[in-house]
């Protein structure tokens, strides 16, 4: 069987797939928040500050990954330009 482009999903299939992914992300987010609360409760004040900063950085990266959509770049052709 030839390997080509994957088949294009219908709107209903795409919505279902996105709902599944969002539900999984929400579940993982809840788990991470619980872990954060446990770690912050255990750490000292100085360590807790460092943990909080690192966790905020991770949160920002995750939010950025969810919000941004990949853009397609146009190919530049090296046509014969004459001045």
Q: Judge whether 49 lies within some domain.
A: yes
Q: Judge whether 38 lies within some domain.
A: yes
Does pLDDT of 80 surpass 70? no
Does pLDDT of 2 surpass 80? no
Two tokens at 55? Answer: 């966790």
pLDDT tens by residue, 38-68: 777 776 666 667 777 888 888 888 887 777 6
Number of structural domains the chain divides into: 1
Residue 28 domain boundaries: 11-60
pLDDT tens by residue, 3-50: 677 788 788 888 898 999 999 999 998 998 888 887 777 766 666 677
* CA 37 to centroid of chain Cα atoms: 22
Q: Per-residue b/e over 18-29, b at no fewer than 16 CB within 10 Å?
A: eeeeeeeeeeee
CA 83 – CA 80 distance, rounded (Å)? 10
CA 63 – CA 65 distance, rounded (Å)? 5
* Three-state secondary-structure class, residue 71: coil
């Amino acid at each position: 069987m030839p390997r080509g482009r994957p088949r294009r999903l219908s709107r209903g299939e795409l919505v279902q797939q996105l709902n599944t992914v969002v539900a999984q992300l929400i579940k993982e987010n809840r788990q991470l928040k619980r872990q954060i609360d446990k770690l912050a409760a255990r750490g000292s004040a100085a360590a807790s500050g460092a943990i909080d900063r690192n966790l905020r950085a991770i949160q920002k990266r995750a939010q950025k990954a969810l919000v941004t959509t990949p853009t397609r770049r146009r190919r530049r052709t090296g046509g014969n330009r004459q001045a």
